[in-house]
Chains A and B, each alone.
Chain A
């Protein structure tokens, strides 16, 4: 196929089903593959969370797939670990960046494809393989890992002697994450190369849509963070398989067995992990921030308020995110003086996040708000971001973290700001871009019902978790009966479990809406939302090389809505000046 001889793209797509849909080098197919991969991961992850909620309040409930139908404490921890790993890596890291970013970055900057299409394909298949390896760990002797998504050493390093799932299952976990690191590095390389070199004529940095900025800064973070996690995984693997002692201290006596290791440092793992792990939090949310700015502007019919402030705050968050990892380790036994430094920098990183929130409110201010499903999710995102962000102010203070660390308060905090907020951004992106991706609209009515149920549902799940945290309920406990002071909290746990089932069932509406609309939805026009950026200039469905050979020139900024003196309330970025109709 000449189309694959190099990155020079011709208008025709490759023939043959396998080359077209499976081993495709087309960024749009790869983006869709990532989204579907993320959709399967989020489905499994959500079912796992329902298992956790069921087990906590009805410990004797029979659940299919577990020995005798009963979830044992180690099963509970397996579920905890798998839920966290799937959600953080294969959903939050994958879908907003590699999924939607892959699909829309080249289109929004006027490029025919990613800079390195074959590396792009390779990174998808690495991700796929990583997920297979991770899931397969549930079926090996000893089962999947029980050490949580953070895999703190030495629990994760000493092997099966410390508990079930820490043998083969833990090894596969490390291998899976190492593969994922490789995939993410290749993907980041592609995003950066594409954004730097393939922008259309006239598309200066300060004319890029905020989505592109979000993906660009995220790729910078991924490039610098995943190499560190990869190094940590290599060292952990050597500790597990080659008897080295990077993370295992001397003279451990685990389950009555004296281990012969040289004297490594468990805190070293935490430092390496969180040096990756904190930027990772922003890897999950920055693309979402870009998407939300984009959607809010479109449906408020207003330019993004403070575009430059948005760009600078994104950059500031990206930079600062590499300097705050220690706030995950306030109670780890690290130097208490450095804890204070990490605390202050962490509070400083709250400032650009607050700037973004103010600017989102500024974008809504004075607007003409259209309540589409996408817009509702974007507004919901702002509300969640405020709530989840403010609870972070507590955790950033080591004196308060002393009490709240590793309680349900932390679970409530990070689910609202990183989990649910990012998921809301994905929903907004889906409802917003679906017409362009599949040529059909999703049902707006179903979408709105989906929003109301989800918005109310997630607050009902995660707000009460803050109260559990106030009462000192520790996270990752397989039972809510084992400590006396947990007994009065039972009603809260019941409420959360019921809210979780309600919210999860509301997602069935989304699945139905998504898959049914691919074929049967209302046919989509080229620019249904009257948007200004390039994805709305290309035809629907998008041609193989995106622009059918007619590459655009950019004449103006990305959010020219309701400009006074114009006939329409939007002026596309690539509309030639002589074609702009004045009122």
Chain B
């Protein structure tokens, strides 16, 4: 167990490990390093980190529901298949289109076209709202074909998954409105659009996954 300290090691303890020491932490970049530390401004990338972590949590929430869905479908013989509401195809197309308009909006923003950016950003928001309206229509179609929340596990999962996704997407719509119409103070518009876009594409991808799951697993 005895362990002697060499001179080299001693140097490291005193001087702090040589060239690889600085920059290991967070405040080495982002323009705040020169002003003497991380306290003067929060690096913008923390918002991107934050939304990435948040998406991880949301993904786990949905994965729990999805694994419950798969387990439940695998057991018993009381699973009743239902007709996927036709409008879901349209809704999926709308949501995919909204991701497209968002990418376009951000491209315009990078070119400096403020007006075009706002226009396409608003278009994205409207497409998002259309998607939600379409989901409500899908629920109406389910009800019309006699599948209520408690009718069968298959329909219970349909409502739970679509409602949970819809609620998260609604949050995304609020974010879009916030970014598009409100003056931002603490975070730059670049970061705000990046964060909102990450979340929006995530919701889009999540929906495609859920749609395929419902389509193949109903």
Contacts and interface: CB of A to CB of B under 8 A. Distances in A.
Partners in one complex: yes
Interface of A: 5-9, 109-112, 115-116, 185, 188-189, 192-193, 196-205, 207, 223-228, 230-232, 234-235, 238, 242-246, 250, 262-265, 268, 271-272, 275, 362, 365-366, 545-547, 549-557, 560, 563-565, 571, 577, 580
B38 A555 contact: no
A200 B14 contact: no
B96 to A, nearest CB: 26
21 contacts: A6-B187, A115-B46, A189-B53, A199-B25, A200-B25, A200-B38, A201-B24, A223-B53, A227-B61, A228-B61, A234-B164, A245-B150, A245-B156, A265-B75, A275-B64, A551-B38, A554-B25, A555-B15, A556-B16, A557-B13, A564-B10
A177 to B, nearest CB: 14
B146 interface: no
Given A551-B39, A554-B16, A365 B1 contact: yes
B76 interface: yes
Interface centre among B20, B38, B72 (most CB of A within 10 A): B38
A518 B78 CA distance: 63
B167 to A, nearest CB: 10
Q: State the 6 A-B residue pairs at the shortest beta-carbon distance, nearest first.
A: A551-B37, A204-B24, A6-B186, A555-B16, A199-B25, A231-B64
Interface stretch (B26-34, B112-120, B134-142, B195-203): B26-34
B22 A197 contact: no
A224 B68 contact: no
B145 interface: no
A468 to B, nearest CB: 36
Contact of A109 (B25, B37, B72): B25
Given A8-B40, A189-B57, A201-B37, A246 B15 contact: no
Given A189-B54, A262-B153, A556-B16, A227 B64 contact: yes
A297 B28 CA distance: 29
B190 to A, nearest CB: 16
A62 B164 CA distance: 48
Interface of B: 1, 5, 10, 12-17, 20-28, 33, 36-43, 45-46, 49-50, 53-54, 56-65, 68, 71-72, 75-76, 78, 149-150, 152-153, 156, 160, 164, 185-187
Judged by DSSP, the binding face of B is helix
A115 B50 contact: yes
B125 to A, nearest CB: 24
B82 to A, nearest CB: 14
Given A116-B50, A189-B50, A244-B156, A272 B68 contact: yes
Judged by DSSP, the binding face of A is loop
Nearest to A203: B25
Contacts of A271: 71
Contacts of B22: 201-202, 553
A552 B54 CA distance: 29
Contact of A112 (B24, B39, B46, B78): B39
B40 to A, nearest CB: 7
A581 to B, nearest CB: 10
B27 A250 contact: no
Contacts of A109: 25-26
A5 B186 CA distance: 7
Contact of B160 (A198, A235, A553): A235
Contacts of B46: 115, 193, 196-198
B53 A193 contact: yes
A265 B71 contact: yes
A544 B5 CA distance: 40
Contacts of B20: 204
A557 B54 CA distance: 31
Nearest to B61: A227
A272 B5 contact: no
Given A193-B53, A263-B78, A549-B39, A556 B17 contact: yes
A325 B18 CA distance: 44
B26 A547 contact: no
Contacts of A246: 68, 72, 153, 156
A197 B43 contact: yes
Contact of A201 (B25, B65, B149, B186): B25
A227 B58 contact: yes
B25 A7 contact: no
B185 A6 contact: yes
A224 B21 contact: no
A117 B10 CA distance: 39
Given A110-B25, A189-B54, A224-B57, 7 more contacts: A196-B26, A200-B27, A200-B38, A227-B64, A231-B64, A551-B39, A577-B14
B72 A268 contact: yes
A197 B59 CA distance: 22
A9 B23 CA distance: 22
Contacts of A8: 40-42, 186
A534 B176 CA distance: 40
B14 to A, nearest CB: 5
Contacts of B62: 231
Contact of B16 (A243, A362, A577): A577
Contact of B37 (A115, A225, A244, A552): A552
Contacts of B10: 563-565
B36 to A, nearest CB: 6
A42 to B, nearest CB: 27
A185 B23 CA distance: 29
Given A201-B22, A203-B25, A551-B39, A244 B13 contact: no
Nearest to A565: B10
B216 to A, nearest CB: 21
A225 B45 CA distance: 25
Contacts of A205: 24
A550 B14 CA distance: 21
Contacts of B49: 115, 192-193, 196-197
B185 A5 contact: yes
B74 to A, nearest CB: 10
Contacts of B164: 234
Contacts of A245: 150, 153, 156
Contacts of A546: 39
A564 B9 CA distance: 11
Contacts of B63: 228
A268 B65 CA distance: 11
Interface centre among B14, B28, B75, B76 (most CB of A within 10 A): B14
